[in-house]
Amino acid sequence: MKYLTLLALLVFACSSPEKPLDSEGIIAKAIKTHGLDNITNKKIEFDFRDRHYSVLREDGKYTYTRSFQDSLGYVEDLLVNSSEFSRRVNGNEIEVDSIWTGKYSSSVNSVLYFIQLPLTLMDPAAMKSYKGIVTVKGKNYHLIEVRFTEENGGEDFEDVFLYWFDEQTFSMDYLAYSYITEGGGVRFREAFNNRVVGGVVFQDYINYKPEDKLTPLEEMSALFDKGELIELSRIENVNISVE
């Protein structure tokens, strides 16, 4: 009888349906698909709009840098764990007041945040909710909404994001967001130019806007499907290296 009971339990375990994926599970699969599951101690460098950026993750610490040449000379910005900012000009550290520290930190963090997607969605400040399966351009996607806690959520913690993950491959092909700064609005981004560098998938984005900036965020993919969004810009990263 013991053996029959054990056999029955094994059969039940093997035949029971797989647990449905939640937001965390989908993002974890996407991180692996994008080759971002093992970038600790790897330095990613790239150029974006005449500025050079880098990110290095090690022992629970992540360091962002931005460098460029301007009228002051050679400027180097350093941001550690999105909270500790410092600036050097021609190799000498300079004092930056709190207002500009916030602006510079936000600017650096934004560029590095997007290039590390979807890994950065695992940030503790990101509150994720699963919105189901939606279709874009004839393909099925897992749709996930992301909001941020006020604590550790940055200056733009009130922004709301949507991410579309391919139902089969878990690649992150689209994202959209609403923002309230500078009068507010919504944007939709389509990934393109996917390439693999050092085992990591990098992609650029076509940035779209609707005719009406008050368009609800959840309507953006339907407008994209209908060809009713306006191309605003292209986010292209070049000279990428992973060491």
Mean pLDDT calculated for residue range 64-69 = 98
Residue 166 is predicted with a pLDDT of 98
Q: Please give the span between the terminal C-alpha atoms of the chain, in angstroms, as a whole number.
A: 59
Range of the domain at 96: 39-115
pLDDT, the chain, mean: 91
Distances, alpha carbon 236 to alpha carbons 62, 102, 181, 202, 229, in Å: 23, 25, 23, 10, 19
Secondary structure of residue 191 in the 3-state scheme: strand
Please indicate, yes or no, if residue 145 is contained in any of the structural domains: yes
pLDDT tens for residues 193-209? 999 999 999 999 999 99
Whole-prediction pTM: 0.88
Please indicate, yes or no, if residue 216 is contained in any of the structural domains: yes
pLDDT tens for residues 67-120? 999 998 999 999 999 899 999 999 999 999 999 999 999 999 999 999 999 999
For the chain, what is the domain count?
A: 2
What phi and psi, each to the nearest 5 degrees, are found at residue 204?
Answer: -100, 175
Are 153 and 231 found together in one domain? yes
Residue 10 is predicted with a pLDDT of 42
Of the three residues 115, 141, 164, the one that is the final residue of a domain is 115
pLDDT tens for residues 127-175? 999 999 999 999 999 999 999 987 765 666 789 999 999 999 999 999 9
Are 69 and 152 found together in one domain? no
80-84, 190-194, 219-223: least confident range = 80-84
Residue 29 is predicted with a pLDDT of 98
Are 32 and 151 found together in one domain? yes
Q: Which residue has the tokens 């500009």?
A: 100
Is 90:63 a contact under the CB 8 Å cutoff? no
Are 153 and 181 found together in one domain? yes
Please indicate, yes or no, if residue 66 is contained in any of the structural domains: yes
Of the three residues 63, 82, 115, the one that is the final residue of a domain is 115
Please indicate, yes or no, if residue 242 is contained in any of the structural domains: no
Please indicate, yes or no, if residue 10 is contained in any of the structural domains: no
Are 86 and 165 found together in one domain? no
